[in-house]
């Protein structure tokens, strides 16, 4: 059966600056990766050298048949010191946008994707009440200069991610407590790391507030205020740009007796933030798997479930459920800004794409305004703490030569994009 997608559907892939560009030396993550006792498995280094090879990568994306590219602009490059804006970095992103336009690719730009300038962290990071204004000032500068070439902008990537991090840390700690050996080692490593953090940022470790960390309630509110202030600034300087935020969302399911826990999770991870999106133009939806709740709370994936390299359950059907609950709650156009799978078995990536898109198709036929699907990721990249071993890319890279090697899934997805049809 052929499933025909709407005309003008955006078929794209996503990346994030720090994960692909390389040598993001003024960012907080760069510093943290280089500390002794670092929680990062490896350093980002040259990553996949996208800061140099972006023109080739965009040409390849277009050649595959895609018509959209979601990427992020790196705050630490644009404003390496507070109030000092780097024209060369702005020119760089101007050329990234030009490359998109030359290939007929619609750019979707993210202004913050986890990394921040080191100076921001020294000034209190994401717990500081001054951060929303600082973020808005950076957004105003970038969008004032480049906004005419940016039809869609996401202010902050996965603004709610700290909630997921806190939950994962809680689960990890209770399993680590059961294994005292690991725990002692872990604690010793953390002590070294904390001392190093203090040296690096000139702050007690508990006052280092990078983005991918657990947050206080005030810190969380800061992030969403940053979105609201940035939105107002962007409206002033680039009124034609459609503005949204992106959120990390699970298909939240309940087993009998787990309904209240599931409802609480949905509220905590999503519904409580609705007022902040009221004036947005679209919603950036990111989903990878489901989360099941029972009467005692979160349940690990069912026994025997297929897992991805991330330890997530392989569950592409989750996307449809999330699109439906997001639309019901926001009534806004949706762009799927991330969805994908870490695997070395590319056949499973193809299967994941097909099953996820079948769900998207069902939503579209129900007249839910899904504008596009951005697969995570265009290219294998630096998966944060887990390094380069987790492979989400449609395109593989030989990092010794930086040669790009499209996987069969890239050809498969490109064909869907080119024909606007999914064959099931």
148 is an active site residue:
no
Query: How far is it, in rounded angstroms, from Cα 15 to Cα 96?
Result: 13
Residue 158 makes contact with ligand BGC by CB under 6 A: yes
Can you name the residues that pair with 168 across neighbouring β-strands? none
Residue 313 makes contact with ligand BGC by CB under 6 A: no
Query: How far is it, in rounded angstroms, from Cα 362 to Cα 354?
Result: 12
416 contacts: CB under 8 Å, gap ≥ 6: 11, 353, 357, 422
Binding residue (CB under 6 A) for ligand BGC from 334, 373, 383, 414: 383
Residue 157 makes contact with ligand BGC by CB under 6 A: yes
Nearest-approach distance from CB 121 to ligand BGC, in angstroms: 18
CB 269 within 8 A of CB 163: yes
CB 108 within 8 A of CB 335: yes
The count of residues interacting with ligand BGC (CB under 6 A) is: 9
Select 155 or 238, whichever has its Cβ closest to ligand BGC. 155
Nearest-approach distance from CB 245 to ligand BGC, in angstroms: 12
Query: How far is it, in rounded angstroms, from Cα 138 to Cα 278?
Result: 23
Select 26 or 286, whichever has its Cβ closest to ligand BGC. 286
Nearest-approach distance from CB 158 to ligand BGC, in angstroms: 5
CB 336 within 8 A of CB 372: yes
Query: How far is it, in rounded angstroms, from Cα 20 to Cα 407?
Result: 17
Query: How far is it, in rounded angstroms, from Cα 130 to Cα 118?
Result: 15
Binding residue (CB under 6 A) for ligand BGC from 3, 13, 16, 265: 16
Q: Which residue's beta carbon is nearest to the bound ligand BGC?
A: 16
DSSP 8-state class, residue 314: -
Select 196 or 269, whichever has its Cβ closest to ligand BGC. 269
Residue 312 makes contact with ligand BGC by CB under 6 A: no
φ, ψ (nearest 5 deg) of residue 396: -90, 160
Nearest-approach distance from CB 396 to ligand BGC, in angstroms: 16
Select 26 or 337, whichever has its Cβ closest to ligand BGC. 337
Q: Around Cβ 101, how many Cβ atoms within 10 Å?
A: 13
Nearest-approach distance from CB 72 to ligand BGC, in angstroms: 9
136 contacts: CB under 8 Å, gap ≥ 6: 226, 229, 230, 232, 233
Residue 376 makes contact with ligand BGC by CB under 6 A: yes
Q: Taken in order 348, 351, 355, 357, is the CA torsion positive or negative?
A: positive
CB 270 within 8 A of CB 309: no
- Helix, strand, or coil here: 2? strand
Residue 24 makes contact with ligand BGC by CB under 6 A: no
Range 83-142, binding ligand BGC (CB under 6 A): none
The closest alpha carbon to 109, from 141, 81, 68, 76, belongs to 68
Binding residue (CB under 6 A) for ligand BGC from 248, 261, 287, 330: 248
Select 137 or 167, whichever has its Cβ closest to ligand BGC. 167
Binding residue (CB under 6 A) for ligand BGC from 28, 320, 338, 380: 338
- The residue annotated as part of the active site, out of 158, 196, 229, 383, is 158
CB 419 within 8 A of CB 403: no
Q: Which helix (H) or strand (E) holds 155?
A: strand 152-156
Nearest-approach distance from CB 335 to ligand BGC, in angstroms: 14
Select 29 or 376, whichever has its Cβ closest to ligand BGC. 376
Select 19 or 116, whichever has its Cβ closest to ligand BGC. 19
Nearest-approach distance from CB 248 to ligand BGC, in angstroms: 5
Cis bond leading into 377, ω under 30°?
A: yes
Residues that bind ligand BGC (CB under 6 A): 16, 19, 157-158, 248, 338, 376, 383, 392
Residues catalogued as catalytic: 158
């Amino acid at each position: 059966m052929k499933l025909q997608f709407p005309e003008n559907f955006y078929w794209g892939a996503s990346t994030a600056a720090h994960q692909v560009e390389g040598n993001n030396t003024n960012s907080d993550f760069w510093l943290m990766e280089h500390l002794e006792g670092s929680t990062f498995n490896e350093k980002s280094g040259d990553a996949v050298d996208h800061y140099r090879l972006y023109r080739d990568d965009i040409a390849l994306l277009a050649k595959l048949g895609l018509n959209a590219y979601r990427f992020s602009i790196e705050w630490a490059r644009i404003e390496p010191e507070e109030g000092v804006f780097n024209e060369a970095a702005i020119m760089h992103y101007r050329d990234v946008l030009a490359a998109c336009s030359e290939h007929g690719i619609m750019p979707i730009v993210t202004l913050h994707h986890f990394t921040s300038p080191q100076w921001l962290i020294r000034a209190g990071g994401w717990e500081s009440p001054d951060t929303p204004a600082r973020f808005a000032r950076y957004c105003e500068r970038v969008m004032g200069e480049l906004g005419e070439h940016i039809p869609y902008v996401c202010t902050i990537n996965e603004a709610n991610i700290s909630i997921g991090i806190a939950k994962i840390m809680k689960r990890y700690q209770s399993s680590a407590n059961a294994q005292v050996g690991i725990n002692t080692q872990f604690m010793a490593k953390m002590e070294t790391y904390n001392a190093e953090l203090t040296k690096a940022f000139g702050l007690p470790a508990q006052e280092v507030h990078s983005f991918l960390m657990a947050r206080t309630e005030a810190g969380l509110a800061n992030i969403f205020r940053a979105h609201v202030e940035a939105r107002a600034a962007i409206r002033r300087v680039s009124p034609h740009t459609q503005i949204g935020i992106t959120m990390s969302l699970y298909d939240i399911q309940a087993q009998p007796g787990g309904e209240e826990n599931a409802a609480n999770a949905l509220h905590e991870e999503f519904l409580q933030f609705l007022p902040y999106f009221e004036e947005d133009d679209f919603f950036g939806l990111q989903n990878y798997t489901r989360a099941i709740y029972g009467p005692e709370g979160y349940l690990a994936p069912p026994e025997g479930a297929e897992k991805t390299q991330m330890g997530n359950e392989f569950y592409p059907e989750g996307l449809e459920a999330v699109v439906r609950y997001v639309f019901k709650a926001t009534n806004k156009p949706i762009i799927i800004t991330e969805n994908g799978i870490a695997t070395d078995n590319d056949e499973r990536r193809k299967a994941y794409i097909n099953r996820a898109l079948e769900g998207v198709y069902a939503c579209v036929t129900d007249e839910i305004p899904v504008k596009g699907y951005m697969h995570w990721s265009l290219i294998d990249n630096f998966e944060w703490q887990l390094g380069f071993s987790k492979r989400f890319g449609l395109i593989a890279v030989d990092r010794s030569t930086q040669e790009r090697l499209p996987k069969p899934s890239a050809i498969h997805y490109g064909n869907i994009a080119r024909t606007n049809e999914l064959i099931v």
